[in-house]
Amino acid sequence: MDRARPAWFLLRLLLTAAALTEAAGPLTDPERVAGRLVFYQTEGSATYLRDAGALASGVATETVFEPLDPERNFSSAGFSYTWDLGNGEVIRGTEPVVRYRYSESGNYTLRLNVGGNPPQLAPAGVYAQEVQVLDAVRSIQLVAPSDYSVNRNSSLDLQLDGSPPMWVCWQFLRNCAPDPAAGCTLTLLRAASLRLNHTFGSAGLHCLDVSARNAVSALRATFSLKVTRNDRRHLLFILSCAAVLAATFSFILAIACRPWQLNSSQVAASSNATFLKDQDSKIILSFSPVEKGERVPLILQPGSQYCC
């Protein structure tokens, strides 16, 4: 038993040394190659890190391959890189970085094929990344009337130029004064338009403050709104009251003037009689024909005279 123990210990030592020698050699198994893809987008003077796999369309993009080699086993090895952007464009080079841009929104699969140069000194591997290309929020437009009335429900349409889904936060500001305590109404928008219904409680200048963002951009806009009182309703009320008063006054005037017209007709009818005296101081009553609708008097014939 004592002679077997040194032999067994020597065998285990040789196996451990062989394992360490194999681990120190170059990695040729692609599954053991570690690395990651990092996306950067530059717009104007700002550079954004896109680590969520969402890119903005039409923006300059730079993708970098970062190998995970903490022990720097491949520091002296060379690599070749073949980039398949997923839109039919393929770029080859010897640098772990590629510059491009997606002109249209959509979903793409970016694939990178890394090859060793020479192959026996560095591993080869294939890396893939699903990329969602979105249109940035470029504009917010308000489609609504220019003037609004107090205590009247108004509809306002917002048109947004950007790829949904978008988070839209909006609020109405009286006198266009910011009100942090009121907060805004947050809405998840899955289309390019949003309709708002609002009733203004006071006249004056109001503002609509809108903020919109998606995974690659954010935009804010403010619109001035003029709110006035509805004077037409007051005018219609005044005209209706005036019409009622005019009708009432006309009715009273007609009632008040009717007896006067009746007395005038009676006096006019009696004026057709003429009093005359003859030589014997006798009074002669003479009636002339009535002109209003009667050619013959109702009592006397033409020319007949009676004396008293």
For residue 244, the surrounding DSSP H or E stretch is helix 231-270
Q: Are residues 66 and 150 in the same domain?
A: no
DSSP of 142-190: EES-SEEETT-EEEEEEEEESPSSEEEEEEEEETT---TTT--EEEEES
Closest to 158 measured CA to CA, from 218, 228, 214, 223:
223
Q: Are residues 44 and 127 in the same domain?
A: yes
Q: Are residues 101 and 149 in the same domain?
A: no
The predicted-structure confidence for 145-166, as pLDDT tens digits, reads as follows 878 889 889 899 999 999 999 9
Q: Is residue 16 part of a domain?
A: no
Q: Are residues 64 and 130 in the same domain?
A: yes
Domain containing residue 61: 35-134
Q: How far apart (Å, rounded) are the C-alpha atoms in residues 120 and 103?
A: 39
Q: Is residue 250 part of a domain?
A: no
Q: Are residues 47 and 124 in the same domain?
A: yes
Q: Is residue 39 part of a domain?
A: yes
Q: Are residues 156 and 214 in the same domain?
A: yes
Q: Is residue 234 part of a domain?
A: no
Q: Are residues 123 and 212 in the same domain?
A: no
Q: Which of 198, 228, 258 is the last residue of a domain?
A: 228
Q: How far apart (Å, rounded) are the C-alpha atoms in residues 175 and 301?
A: 91
Cβ proximity of 203 and 178 under 8 Å = no
Query: Residues in the chain, how many?
Result: 308
Q: Which of 134, 157, 180 is the last residue of a domain?
A: 134
3-state SS class at 74? coil
pLDDT for res 240? 72
pLDDT for res 26? 36
pLDDT for res 91? 96
- The list of the chain residues with pLDDT below 50 reads 1, 3-32, 262, 267-271, 275, 287, 290, 292-294, 298-300, 304, 306-308
For residue 106, the surrounding DSSP H or E stretch is strand 106-117
Cβ proximity of 257 and 249 under 8 Å = no
Overall domain count for the chain: 2
Q: What is the CATH number of the domain that holds 117?
A: 2.60.40.10
Closest to 213 measured CA to CA, from 272, 260, 166:
166
Q: Which of 111, 134, 157 is the last residue of a domain?
A: 134
pLDDT for res 145? 83
Q: Are residues 169 and 216 in the same domain?
A: yes
Q: Are residues 83 and 120 in the same domain?
A: yes
Q: Is residue 1 part of a domain?
A: no
What is the reported pTM? Answer: 0.59
pLDDT for res 124? 67
Which DSSP state fits 24?
A: H
pLDDT for res 21? 35
Closest to 102 measured CA to CA, from 21, 39, 44, 49:
39
- Enumerate residues 6+ apart whose C-beta is below 8 A from 149: 200, 227, 228, 229, 230
Q: Are residues 76 and 111 in the same domain?
A: yes
Q: Is residue 286 part of a domain?
A: no
Q: Is residue 130 part of a domain?
A: yes
Q: Is residue 265 part of a domain?
A: no
Q: Are residues 108 and 39 in the same domain?
A: yes
Cβ proximity of 139 and 223 under 8 Å = no
Q: What is the CATH number of the domain that holds 156?
A: 2.60.40.730
Q: Are residues 50 and 72 in the same domain?
A: yes
